[in-house]
Amino acid sequence: MDPFTYTKPADTRAALAAGARGGRYIAGGTTLVDLMRETVERPGTLVDISGLPLREVRATSDALRIGALALMSDVASHPRVRGAYPVIAQALELSASAQLRNMATIGGNILQRTRCTYFRDVNAACNKRQRGSGCSALEGYNRAHAILGTSNSCVATHPSDLAVALAALDAVVHLRGPDGERDLALTRFLLQPGDTPDREHDLRPGELITAVEIPSHPTPLRSGYLKVRDRQSYEFALTSAAVVLHITGGVIRDARVAAGGVGTVPWRLSAVERRLTGQRPSDRLWAQAAEVAADGARPLRHNAFKAELLQRTVERQLRVVGGTR
């Protein structure tokens, strides 16, 4: 780990000033400290934002606002979250370990960096770590890598489960920076790699995530998250599916489905959603909709299995959330 200076601002204004001077924000630190130890991350100054008042989970009449510094464990156990959006609670509780969930924050979870082993190995070529150095995963061991949203520069997955659930719920990211506040849809905030995989998000210099907001959804709303992985717990996803359904009168009025473990960003499955909307739930419908889950996939040498696994993951979770009549 490289030496760094440390500062802990007392308020958001002081934090933004320190960030504007080039300081690196640290919240839970579970990704950043790990990567600093590997010298993948080498910040000269850490700005500890854990003292800022951004921890609150608040339900308003038309939205649920989750402070960026709320801990994963606190959000997962929050009664309002569990009641209205089981998909969020499930995605969180299927992430990491109880210890890490006691440290990691919601904002940091969205910004966590990929688990691609070549990204984490400073001796390997990686365009995300060093633009233009090449991608070791393209011809290397790429079983865990992405099949959607990839480019010739990068095939690394976005590792967050929470972000998949949030993408399905059309979550909005609230940002605050030296130039003021702005909001951005999560799916626009996180960037596909293209030719610049080192740019992972639309965060401007010195800008902070202050909150994540879930807009209101029609009720009754059913939702849930399924995560498929190499071991039963404490592991990243090979594939995952967040399913959100609004069913009244025996008809699916609104369907939102997103996938994890397969994309360079959380991946909305709009083709699946189109096949569901306006239809009556049935085992046949779930299978027909899931058929198009991997449309557009570009498998690599070792991860072609993910396309079929994704279809099955989506089909199963549609059945779990939608029930069968």
Partner 1 sequence: MSDQLADEDRRDGHAPSGVSRRGFLSTTAAGGVAAGVLPAMHAEQNAGASAAQKAAPDGHSSTLSVTVNGRRHQVTIDNRTSLLDLLREHLALPGTKKGCDAGACGACTVLVNGRRVNACLTLAVRCQDAEITTIEGLASEGGELHALQQAFIEQDAFQCGYCTPGQIMSGVGCIREGHTGSREEIREWMSGNICRCGCYVKIVSAVAQAARKEG
DSSP string, 252-319: EEEEEEEEESSBSS-EE-HHHHHHHTTPPP-HHHHHHHHTTTTTT----SS-THHHHHHHHHHHHHHH
Least distance in angstroms from the C-beta of 5 to partner 1: 4
Give the count of residues interacting with partner 1 (CB under 8 A).
Answer: 28
Residues 6+ apart with CB under 8 A from 38: 120, 121, 122
What are the CA-CA distances from residue 122 to residues 3, 134, 243, 266, 302 (Å)?
18, 13, 37, 26, 23
270 binds partner 1 per the rule CB under 8 A = no
d(C-alpha 161, C-alpha 109), whole Å: 9
> In 42-166, where do the E strands start and end?
45-48, 57-59, 63-67
Among residues 64 and 103, whose Cβ is nearest to partner 1?
A: 103
Binders of partner 1 in range 29-58 (CB under 8 A): 29-30, 33-34, 36-37, 46, 48, 50
1 binds partner 1 per the rule CB under 8 A = yes
Of 163, 160, 156, nearest to 197 by C-alpha is: 156
Among residues 38 and 56, whose Cβ is nearest to partner 1?
A: 38
Cα–Cα–Cα angle for 314, 215, 12, nearest 5°?
Answer: 115
Three-state SS at 104: coil
Among residues 6 and 305, whose Cβ is nearest to partner 1?
A: 6
* Contact pattern for partner 1 over residues 229 through 248, marking x by CB under 8 A: ---xxx--------------
Least distance in angstroms from the C-beta of 39 to partner 1: 11
Cα–Cα–Cα angle for 179, 159, 156, nearest 5°?
Answer: 95
Among residues 49 and 175, whose Cβ is nearest to partner 1?
A: 49
Binders of partner 1 in range 8-27 (CB under 8 A): 8, 26
Least distance in angstroms from the C-beta of 271 to partner 1: 33
Least distance in angstroms from the C-beta of 235 to partner 1: 9
Least distance in angstroms from the C-beta of 264 to partner 1: 23
Binders of partner 1 in range 59-118 (CB under 8 A): 73, 96-100, 102-103
131 binds partner 1 per the rule CB under 8 A = no
d(C-alpha 313, C-alpha 315), whole Å: 6
Tokens of 316: 């199963």
Least distance in angstroms from the C-beta of 22 to partner 1: 14
Interacting residue ranges for partner 1, rule: CB under 8 A: 1, 3-8, 26, 29-30, 33-34, 36-37, 46, 48, 50, 73, 96-100, 102-103, 232-234
